[in-house]
Amino acid sequence: MCGIVGYIGSREAYPVVLKGLKRLEYRGYDSAGVALLNHGMKVYKKKGKVAQLEEEVIGKDIQSNIGIGHTRWATHGEPSDRNAHPHVSNNGKLAMIHNGIIENYVSIKNELLKKGYTFKSDTDTEVLLNFIGDIKTNNECSLEEAVRIALKRVVGAYVILLIDEDTPDTIIAARKGSPLVIGIGKNEHFLASDASPIIEYTKEVVYVNDYELAIVKADELILKNLGNEKITPYVQKLDLELAAIEKGGYDHFMIKEINEQPHTIYDCLRGRLDPVAGTITMAGVQNNIEQLKNAQRIVMIACGTSWHAGLVAEYVFEELCRIPVEVEYASEFRYRNPVINKGDVIIAISQSGETADTIVAIDKAKEQGAFIFGVVNVVGSSIARLSHAGAYTHAGPEIGVASTKAFTAQLAVLTMVALKIALEKGTITHDRYMHLLNELHEIPDKVKLLLEDAENVKAIGLKYKDAGDFLYLGRGYNFPVALEGALKLKEISYIHAEGYPAAEMKHGPIALVDEKLPVVFVATKDAYYDKIVSNIQEIKARKGQVIAVITENDETIPTMSNDIMFVPEADEIVAPMLSVIPLQLLSYYIGVAKGLDVDKPRNLAKSVTVE
C-alpha cells in the first residue's frame, strides 16, 4: 500500500522524489504529492497518477534539497486532491506522509477538535500530524520528541516521514508494521517504502525495524527506539540491479515478469538443487530439519496468490512428507483463536514479506510456541526477520500488481522444502526423489518452451474479451491453479470469474453454464485425467464454451474443446508451475484487449501493509 519517498542532501530533491514515486506507483495510484522545504513549506498534490502530479507542478517553485513524496492507495477518505498526501499541520510548519492506518484516530481527532483544530481532509494522517504538532507546541519540545510521545499513544500501523520549517535540515521517520528502507549516500540519504527508488543512487541501505525512529540529516543517520535509546544502524548491501525494475522493452511489467519465469525459477533452484548429485541444499531447512520433519502439523499462512501457492503446497507436503497440512488466510487466522501447539510449523508465504495480516498471524503463532518458516521474495523484509528460519524465492522485484513470477518461485521453493523433508523423513523412495529432482530441474526449460505459444493464447484472449463471466475448473494439484487463474482474470480484466474443483461443479455452478459462458479447464494429464474428461463432457452437453489447458500430445480433450492451450508433459507435483502460465497470459491479453492498465488494476495495491 502507498509508496513513500524522501530525500535530503545536495541534489535537487524534487527530481529524485518524483522518479521514486514513479517506481513506487505500483503500491498505490489514487493520488500523489510532494512537500519541499526552501524558505518555507511548498506542497503540491493531485488526484490521479504521478503523471497528473508532474503536470500540476510545471512552472511551480520546486527548488529544494529536502523533500518527501507519496503515492496513495486510499484507506480513509475517497481519492481526491484534499485527501492526497502530504498533509500540512494547522500552523503550516509541518508536512507529513503516511503509509498505514491509525485505528484510534477518531478519539484523537475529537480531542483536537475541542482544542479548535480544523481538518481539510478525511484522513487519519492529518489527525496524527496535528496531534504531533499539538504535542510539539504544548510541550515546547523538538519534533523528534513530539513524534516519540505521539506514537506511544497511537494504535495501528504506520510509516511516517515529516519535515519541519523550524528544522529544515532534517527528516524525521518512524515505522510500525509498514516497510521503510533508508539508502546511505555520500552526504545524502534516501528514504522509501522499498529499495526500487534507491538503487540508482546507492546500494548501502538500512532497514528500519518496528518501533524505531530515524533522525535523518544529509550527513547523519540516527536511529532510536521509542524509549529514546540510540540503536546502531545495521547497513546492508542491496543485491539488486536497476535493470530489474525497468520494463526492458516490454509494453508492461506484467508481460515482462511472465516472460522472466524461466530465469526466475532457474534462479530459485540455482545453488540449491543438484539433480546429478541428488541433493537439495537449503540452510534454512537443513539447520532445522528435526523441527520440520517431526512436525505434527504444518499450517501455511498467506493471502491472495500466495494463499493459492500454499494450497498447491498442501497437496505436495501431504503426498511427499505425510504431514497434515492446513492452509489459512492470514486475515482470518489472526482474528480467530486457533489451536496452536508447541512444535507446530507455520509456513508464512508472502511476496513482499510485509503483508500486514500475515505478520500479525505469525506473531500470534510465535507467542504460542510455533516454529515459523518464512517463504518471501524481499530480502530484509519484516517476515524474513520475524521467522525462525526460511528461504528466499529469488524472483527479483515484481512490479506488476498481479503476482506472476512470485507464484511460480514460491511453488519451486515449497516443492524443494517438501522434497528435502520427505527424504530426511524416509517418506519417499530414492527413485521417486531422484525423478522429482529431475522434473523440477527441467521446469525452467519447459516454461521457456510453453511461452512460445503466447500468440495462440493472445488469439483466445481476443475471442473471449467481451465475456461477462468465466468459470475455472481443476482437480487435485490443478484445483488451486484454477483458483489462481480466476483471480488473475478478475484482477486484470475486471471480468467476474470463479474457480472451483471440477467435481464440485455439479453442486451449484453448473447452473450458470450456457452457450455464452467460457469454462476454463486445467486438464493436464495426471491421476485425475479421466475424471476431468467426464467433467468437460458435462459442460459440452450444456453448450458451454470449453477452453482447456492440456498436456502436449493429448488427443482426447481437443476433440471436445473450443480452444486449447498446451503445456509440456510433467509430473503432477511440478505441473502447476507450467499450467498456471497460460492462465497468466490469458488474463494479460484479455486485459490489454479491453484497454486496461494491467500493471496497475483499479483499487488494488501491490503490498497490502494495512488490514
Tens of pLDDT, residue by residue over 46-65, are: 998 888 999 999 999 999 99
Phi–psi pair at 284, nearest 5 degrees: -60, -30
Which one, of 215, 228, 210, 177, lies nearest residue 6 by Cα? 215
Total of domains in the chain: 3
pLDDT at residue 409, as a whole number: 96
Indicate the pTM of the whole model.
Answer: 0.77
Q: Are residues 572 and 431 in the same domain?
A: no
CATH number of the domain to which 297 belongs = 3.40.50.10490
Q: Are residues 222 and 144 in the same domain?
A: yes
Residue 611 falls inside a structural domain: no
How far is the C-alpha of 401 from the C-alpha of 459, rounded, in Å?
24
Which one, of 339, 406, 344, lies nearest residue 373 by Cα? 344
Q: Are residues 43 and 167 in the same domain?
A: yes
How far is the C-alpha of 536 from the C-alpha of 526, rounded, in Å?
15
Number of helices followed by number of strands (H, E) in the chain = 20, 27
> What is the DSSP code (8-state) at residue 26?
G
> What is the DSSP code (8-state) at residue 606?
S
Considering the candidates 46, 364, 420, 606, report the single residue annotated as catalytic: 606
Q: Are residues 484 and 422 in the same domain?
A: no
Give CB contacts under 8 A, 24+ apart, made by 454-461: 454/585, 456/565, 457/565, 457/582, 457/585, 457/586, 457/589, 458/585, 458/589, 460/547, 460/563, 460/565, 460/586, 460/589, 461/585, 461/586, 461/588, 461/589, 461/590, 461/592, 461/593
Q: What is the mean pLDDT of the chain?
A: 91
Residue 114 has pLDDT above 90, yes or no: yes
- Count other C-beta atoms under 10 Å from residue 445's C-beta: 12
> What is the DSSP code (8-state) at residue 209?
P
Tell me what the mean pLDDT of segment 447-464 comes to. 95
How far is the C-alpha of 272 from the C-alpha of 414, rounded, in Å?
12
At residue 1 the predicted structure's pLDDT band, cuts being 50, 70 and 90, is low
- The 10 Å CB-count burial string (b at 16+, else e) for 40-54 is ebbbbbbbbbbebbb
At residue 609 the predicted structure's pLDDT band, cuts being 50, 70 and 90, is very low
> What is the DSSP code (8-state) at residue 603?
T
* pLDDT tens column, 320-337: 999 999 999 988 887 777
Residue 519 has pLDDT above 90, yes or no: yes
Which one, of 105, 125, 109, lies nearest residue 117 by Cα? 109
* pLDDT tens column, 4-34: 999 999 999 999 999 999 888 776 678 899 9
Q: Are residues 269 and 290 in the same domain?
A: yes
Tell me what the mean pLDDT of segment 537-557 comes to. 90
Q: Which of the two residues, 595 and 77, has the higher pLDDT score?
A: 595
How far is the C-alpha of 428 from the C-alpha of 84, rounded, in Å?
56
Do 191 and 5 meet the contact criterion of CB atoms below 8 Å apart? yes
How far is the C-alpha of 605 from the C-alpha of 156, rounded, in Å?
19
Strand, helix or coil for residue 490 = helix
Residue 29 falls inside a structural domain: yes
321 is annotated as an active-site residue? no
Q: Are residues 221 and 107 in the same domain?
A: yes
Q: Helix crossing, 443-450 with 576-593: angle to 10°?
A: 30
* pLDDT tens column, 360-412: 888 888 888 899 999 998 877 888 888 999 999 988 888 888 899 999 999 99
> What is the DSSP code (8-state) at residue 187?
T
**What distances in angstroms separate CA 215 from CA 173, 208, 335, 541, 579, one per listed residue?**
7, 12, 35, 68, 49
Q: Are residues 316 and 333 in the same domain?
A: yes
Q: Which of the two residues, 497 and 234, has the higher pLDDT score?
A: 497
Where are the strands (E) in 475-555, listed by range?
496-501, 518-522, 545-551
Residue 606 falls inside a structural domain: no
Q: Are residues 160 and 281 in the same domain?
A: no
**CA 499 to centroid of chain Cα atoms:** 21
How far is the C-alpha of 538 from the C-alpha of 502, rounded, in Å?
10
Q: Are residues 272 and 212 in the same domain?
A: no
Residue 202 falls inside a structural domain: yes
Q: Are residues 408 and 500 in the same domain?
A: no
- Count other C-beta atoms under 10 Å from residue 439's C-beta: 20
Q: Residue 200 sits in which domain range?
A: 3-243
Do 51 and 12 meet the contact criterion of CB atoms below 8 Å apart? no
Q: Helix crossing, 443-450 with 261-269: angle to 10°?
A: 180
Exposure of 177 by Cβ count < 10 A (0-12 exposed, 13-18 middle, 19+ buried)? Answer: buried
Residue 130 has pLDDT above 70, yes or no: yes
pLDDT at residue 325, as a whole number: 96
Domain end marker among 375, 410, 441:
441
Considering the candidates 2, 268, 303, 321, report the single residue annotated as catalytic: 2
516 is annotated as an active-site residue? no
Q: Is 491 left (phi over 0), alpha (psi -120 to 50) or beta?
A: alpha
Q: Are residues 76 and 177 in the same domain?
A: yes
Residue 284 has pLDDT above 60, yes or no: yes
Percentage of the residues of the chain whose pLDDT score is greater than 90: 67
Residue 606 has pLDDT above 60, yes or no: no
Q: Are residues 226 and 143 in the same domain?
A: yes
- Count other C-beta atoms under 10 Å from residue 228's C-beta: 10
Tell me what the mean pLDDT of segment 180-204 comes to. 91
Domain end marker among 441, 458, 489:
441
Torsional sign, CA 130, 135, 137, 143: negative
